[in-house]
Structure 1
Amino acid sequence: MLPGKKFFITIGLLGTIVFVSTTAMQQQQQKEEHKYKNLKVLPKNITEHQMHEVMEEWEHSLGVRCNFCHVRNEESHQMDWASDTKPEKEMAREMYRMTANLNKKHFKAGKDSIGMIMETGVNCNMCHHGQAHPEVKMPERPMRPQGQPGQQPGGGQPQPPAGDKQP
């Protein structure tokens, strides 16, 4: 005797439920694999596309490649994105915090949909101009014509204040 119609429908529904739940679990595992590890200044829910945009902006602003901040795992021959081995990575975090604070305090920048400070005033390129280590240069002092404050009559140098020792 063959099982009834209800039996086949029940088996079919159970099979569908198992298939759908298995597919959903696989999709969840794939999403978890894309979660980034060791994020300290970037939002934990940043998407792959957004992460790529941020890293590309920093890459172009500093004129560097990924290995400037990240190390390669020699065993797996893959980049170890989560590693904090290189001090440049922590410096990049500090610089990001600095620009975010400047933008928030002085330019009233809010946060975007994933919690990143929106850049409205200051960014990496403003100082770096495509250089990993921007040149720190002091402004030159203009020559003062004679008779200007700070100079002695007759072109002599000003005297140091009392109490300062001369070399």
Structure 2
Amino acid sequence: MFISKKTFITIGLLAVVAGTSMMSFKSEAPAEEKKFKNLKVLPKNITEDQMHDVMEEWEHALGVRCSFCHVRDTATKKMDWANDAKPEKEMARNMYKMTAMLNKKYFHAKKNELGMMAEEGVNCNSCHRGNAHPEVVPASKKKE
């Protein structure tokens, strides 16, 4: 059977149009947000973008990488975000609660729609300034 060039091109274009329209139907469906596991201080309804922003802020404030608080699963070679094996992760949670309390009590900060402090007086960077373990200098030894 012989197919003319015009018929072949028409069928090809129809296939492209049909394929494209099927893809657009899939992308219009609401994408299900990633559900994070083991959230203890961050809101349960936090989005992936918001989580990334929070983690990036903490990463820069402490001058660390993800592995400072999180462990890698040796079997899968991927980060195990929910794992609480590192004590630094619990310390980060405690520090987050402390800054939230300070901001609420002393700076009258309000919570946003996620339940996180919308206005901050203090944050991780207030003390850490890029150091994972900021040095505590007694007032008597400070340079003037």
Do both proteins adopt the same fold according to a TM-score greater than 0.5, normalized to the shorter chain? yes
Match of 1:121 in 2: 121
Match of 1:31 in 2: 32
Q: How does 1:60-75 map to 2 (within 5 A)?
A: 60-75=60-75
| TM-score, normalised with respect to structure 2 | 0.75
Q: How many residues align?
A: 115
Match of 1:138 in 2: 138
Aligned partner letter, 2:138: M
Q: Which has the higher contact order (CA 8 A, sep 6+)?
A: 2
Q: Which whole-Å deviations, capped at 9, do the CAs of 1:106-141 have from their partners, x for residues lacking one?
A: 111111011111242001011001000000110117
Structure 1 residue 44, shift from structure 2 partner: 0.2
What is the percent sequence identity of the aligned residues? 65
Question: Could you tell me how far apart the structure 1 residues matched to 2:119 and 2:135 are?
Answer: 23
Q: Classify the secondary structure of the residue corresponding to 1:99.
A: helix
Question: Could you tell me how far apart the structure 2 residues matched to 1:70 and 1:82 are?
Answer: 8
Structure 1 stretches of at least 4 aligned residues deviating more than 3 Å after TM superposition: none
Unaligned runs of 5+ in 2: 1-25
Higher helix share: 2
Question: Could you tell me how far apart the structure 2 residues matched to 1:118 and 1:61 are?
Answer: 18
Q: Classify the secondary structure of the residue corresponding to 1:101.
A: helix
Larger Rg: 1
Contact persistence 1:59–1:65 (CA under 8 A): yes
Aligned partner letter, 1:138: P
Q: How does 1:2-41 map to 2 (within 5 A)?
A: 31=32, 34-41=34-41
Contact persistence 1:100–1:119 (CA under 8 A): no
Match of 1:54 in 2: 54
| TM-score, normalised with respect to structure 1 | 0.65
